[in-house]
Amino acid sequence: MSLLEELLQQQKEIAAAIEAEVNKRREAAAKGEAHAQFTLGLMHEQGQGVAQNYREALRCFETAAEQGMAEAQFRLGSLLDRGLGESVDYEKAIHWYQEAATQGHVAARCALGQMFENGHGTKQDFAAAMRWYKLAASGKHADAHFFIGSMYENHHGVEQDYFEAVRWYRLAAALGHLVAQCCLARIFEGGLGVKRDYAEALRWVRGPAAQGYAPAQLQLGVMYEHGEGVEEDNLEAMRWYRLAAAQGHAPAQAKVGFMYSNGKGVACEYPEALRWYRLAADQGNATALCNLGFMFDHGYGVAADESRALMYYSKAAKRGDAHAEKNREMIEARRAAQAASETPAQPN
């Protein structure tokens, strides 16, 4: 038997084993066994051994959830929360999260905190959110620690307190929470409620960046571009921007465009700048939209086109870009002045 034939035979055997396991789970599920229903639901949710089917996953989880299985109750709530398998239903999601939470399910407690903090399916209630987060945090749930830190940073139901935010972010970061690590880097980089400390910021951002977390890669690139805690190095900045941009991260794509349009770390190439700006603009990135407007406004890499510049500036301004708003107003003032100069004087 050739190597190819051996490989094909192995694939057939694996496929047969998977099919046999699926059939076994289906038979057990048909008998109403909660664990089998739950396992079959997982297979449908994740597309393991069967085609991914959220509706079928929902049905299986519900059958197991009604028998009191906490993990099934949580996963059912999560599907309803995200609108997978059927339309979003926050009220039903809360019901199943609560069923799981009363059995001590840590992730369900954290999810309830999110529902109360965001007012999904219930009246927004920061105090209730904090209670659920702290219950989840007592079970060393990284997201719960992070969300508590976020509430202290963003003044959600508590006085803004960066010291407390940092404390909770550190707890989440110690559990491997990448977003919390980036938040710590941002706080120390900006000196938000703490003494500015670029070395500490670098310490927190390097880990998630090395793990491929795009926002951290962007953040590290910015520190290299501006020489914050490191020697200014546009080549290294561009390397990190590219890594994040390759993952479709719009702010990083806008940064790559900026580096090309200004010849930082690379030769100045307006066509490449336009390409990256457009990728970011397609995702609604305000900075990229503004910069596209600027390139059309001044004819960088394209024929100058005031109308298209105005279109991009207007889109960016609607997304809160102050530079775009100023540039939009300048074009409108320019047009108004031109129209006035072309209007013939009225006879006395």
Q: List average pLDDT for each run of 10 residues in the chain, which is 348 residues long.
A: 62 53 51 83 91 95 95 97 96 98 97 98 97 97 98 96 97 97 97 95 97 98 96 97 98 98 96 98 98 97 96 97 96 89 69
Q: Is 39 inside any structural domain?
A: no
pLDDT for 48: 87
Q: Is 259 inside any structural domain?
A: yes
Considering only CA atoms, give the Rg of the chain: 27
pLDDT for 15: 45
pLDDT for 342: 75
Give residue for tokens 């209630």: 125
Burial class (CB within 10 angstroms; exposed 0-12, middle 13-18, buried 19+) of 114: middle
Q: Is 322 inside any structural domain?
A: yes
**Angstrom distances, CA of residue 181 to CA of 39, 97, 207:** 34, 28, 8
Give residue for tokens 């938040």: 183
Q: Is 271 inside any structural domain?
A: yes
CATH of the domain at 262: 1.25.40.10
Q: In total, how many domains does the chain have? A: 1
* Domain limits for position 256: 249-335
Q: Is 175 inside any structural domain?
A: no
Q: Is 281 inside any structural domain?
A: yes
Distance from C-alpha of 250 to C-alpha of 229, rounded to nearest angstrom: 25
Q: Is 293 inside any structural domain?
A: yes
Q: Is 58 inside any structural domain?
A: no
With contact defined as beta carbons under 8 Å apart, do 151 and 158 qualify?
yes
pLDDT for 218: 98
